Amino acid sequence: MFIGGGMKESLKPIGVIHSPFKKLAGMPIQPAFSKEKGVVEVFDKYKKGLKDLEGFSHLILIYEFHKSKGYSLLAKPFLDNKKKGVFATRSPHRPNHIGISIVKLVRRKGNKLTVGGIDALDGTPLLDIKPYVPEFDCHCNAKSGWLKGKAKKR
């Protein structure tokens, strides 16, 4: 339950993410560093919500870091040796264990979406899917903060 009249219930998974990553070791740190495919399985009761998704090339997956325990307000990110504020990182050890990934939609078959660039652990609970819309989501003049020059795309 959230303060301020927002969420009235706890978040519930709408599906599960299947990936080749069975352990945290060896996983890519971001979708931009992954060449792997995965399958996003949406539970049957939410299948109708996938209507019209095929026209989008990319999707935003919102999921739970289900293997993450606890959190720290300071985190040492993969691409730096100094601790940063957790909200300035993509660390899974956050107050709310929520992750996001932008993946390429390869195909849809029923309630299963094959996606490219997966970086989630196999069995990850899926909380939501949103279409990636370049006109809304791409900010060409965005700054990378402490990551400037460290985050190179594949």
- The confidence score (pLDDT) of residue 39 equals 97
Domains of the chain and any CATH numbers = 15-132 (2.40.30.70)
Distance from chain centroid for Cα 58: 12
- The confidence score (pLDDT) of residue 1 equals 42
Residue 73 has phi, psi (to 5 degrees) of -75, -10
In this prediction the pTM is 0.84
- The confidence score (pLDDT) of residue 103 equals 94
Q: How far is CA 110 from CA 3, 19, 46, 53, in A?
A: 37, 18, 11, 11
Determine the Cα–Cα distance for residues 122 and 60; give it in Å rounded to an integer: 17
Share of the chain above pLDDT 70, in %: 85
